[in-house]
Amino acid sequence: MGQHSKNSSYDLRPISITALRVDDSNDIQFDIRFTSPSCSCSLEFYGDEDTFKDFASALKNFPRSLKDKVTFQIGEDNRNYAYYLSVNVLCSDPTGKTAIKVLADNFGDTTTGYRCEFAIMTSPAQINELGYNLFLWKPKKDGDVFVWPEE
């Protein structure tokens, strides 16, 4: 299962997700962080314990072909939304090398806004592991953390 730690603020693994707040009706405020050797970004958004379920399930059998693409999206890429997150997992070349393409925008003003776009290179086996572990992660309390890959 994905490793759980109390403090991931210094974690340099490619993906970490923190349940910042979990209320009695299981509404969750998430902070998701993506890190590559050249770039890092994070975004806070709201969801529930099943927010990642369909995405994780699809990753467990990735790729079904070299043209396979699995997408996780929150919001839309326009300022009518508070934020936008698009995560696309795809084969980046004919040998099966895999990329996680991240696009995050918090639609902030001139001083607080950012738009971040980059790729995290990985392998199909690591993507399958991400899918299995993320599918099993069920945040139940404030501070629950999922990190990938495990050490």
Band of pLDDT at residue 26, cut at 50, 70 and 90? confident
For 39-46, what is the mean pLDDT? 95
Which phi and psi angles does 120 have, rounded to 5°? -115, 120
Residue range 15-148 in CATH 3.40.50: no
Q: With pLDDT > 90 as the criterion, what percentage of the chain qualifies?
A: 83
Round to whole Å and give the CA distance between 43 and 59. Answer: 21
Token readout for 138 is 């069920």
For 43-68, what is the mean pLDDT? 95
What are the tens digits of pLDDT across the range 72-120?
Answer: 999 999 999 999 999 999 999 888 899 999 999 999 998 999 999 999 9
The reported pLDDT for the residue numbered 150 is 79
Contact 18, 3 (CB under 8 A): no
Greatest extent of the chain over all pairs of C-alpha atoms, in Å: 47
The reported pLDDT for the residue numbered 30 is 97
Q: With pLDDT > 70 as the criterion, what percentage of the chain qualifies?
A: 91
Domains of the chain, by residue range, sit at 15-148
- What is the per-residue DSSP string for 33-97? EEE-SS-EEEEEEEEETTTTHHHHHHHTT--SSTT-EEEEEES-SSTTSS-EEEEEEEE-STT--
Band of pLDDT at residue 12, cut at 50, 70 and 90? low
What is the pTM (predicted TM-score) of this model?
0.88
